[in-house]
Structure 1
């Protein structure tokens, strides 16, 4: 698996996965009606860096990394990860998260925070915990899940340089 900074062509190939995930309304609080241009800006324009994982030129997943806050809070970063349906269960999310932590350290971040991990997304919650993230807060009924209705979401945090 090769992880590199995303290109315009990569994003075009990744767009169907992003669209599928946001339209499912199960893990991301993004507008399910978002256009390609809006999604590109959100995933590639706003973040400081965006990466894509590929194997034999096939997109497996992607992540973005950005400051979680500005000014005095800019030493904490935030990331978002998505894995293609065909690549799920193959360790792609773990590799992307490990890569993002290395990149975050190189960029001078001291910690990483996930602002809204949907509590019903057991696979992600357990993976992040295995990688050292702690649930530091719960937002009661903070996510409107398309199938389950209102569910809690978690704020998860990890110091990168303990």
Structure 2
């Protein structure tokens, strides 16, 4: 698997699974039903952030976006978000993207990585991030309206670098 910086021409391929994931409504509090162009700014990061794609056999199978969690006095802590094509779950794509983000964040001089909103019922993501050294440092109750479970919490997760 190759992980490389995303180009503008990659966006339609990312959007193919971005739109499916947002329509499922189980992992992101992003607007549903976005068009290709409406969704672009929600995923394609501008510097100092970065968006990457995971490519397997010439096909984009996942993506991550990363950058400072906050501007100014909060810019020493990074954040990231991840998408894996639902048809490709369980193949290590999320782990490879997570490891890439951790390596990039260290190289960029971030002091830590903070995930602001990991849906507590997303057990595979929580398990993955914990296996990569992240800790749940708090859960904000009933802040995500899950289509199956109703109001559930959002974990704040942190990894010191």
**What TM-score range do you get, normalising by the shorter chain?**
over 0.9
Task: Please say if residues 45 and 66 of structure 2, whose CA atoms lie closer than 8 Å, have aligned partners that are also in contact.
Answer: no
* Paired position in structure 2 for 1:148: 149
Shift of 1:148: 1.4
Cα deviation, 1:18-76, whole Å, max 9, x if unaligned, reads: 00101111000100122222221111145610000001111110000021111111000
SS in 2 for 1:90: coil
| TM-score normalized with structure 1 length | 0.95
Q: CA deviation at 1:108?
A: 1.5
**1:155 shift after superposition:** 0.3
Partner of 2:15: 15
Shift of 1:7: 1.3
Aligned to 1:2: 2
CA distance in 2, matches of 1:66, 1:40: 16
Alignment correspondent of 1:55? 56
- The CA distance in 2 between the partners of 1:5 and 1:21, in whole Å, is 21
SS class of match (2:3):
strand
After the TM superposition, list the runs of 4 or more consecutive aligned residues in structure 1 that deviate by more than 4 angstroms: none
Distance 1:146 1:17, change over 3 A: same
Map of 2:116 onto structure 1:
115
Q: How many residues align?
A: 160
| Alignment of 1:81 onto 2:82 | yes
Whole-angstrom distance in 2 between the partners of 1:138 and 1:42: 24
Aligned partner of 2:28 in structure 1 is: 28
1:67-97 C-alpha deviation (Å, 9 max, x unpaired): 1111111000110001001211011100000
d(CA) in 2 for partners of 1:21 and 1:46?
Answer: 22
**Distance in 2 between residues matched to 1:22 and 1:13, nearest whole Å:** 15
Structure 2 gap ranges (5+) = none
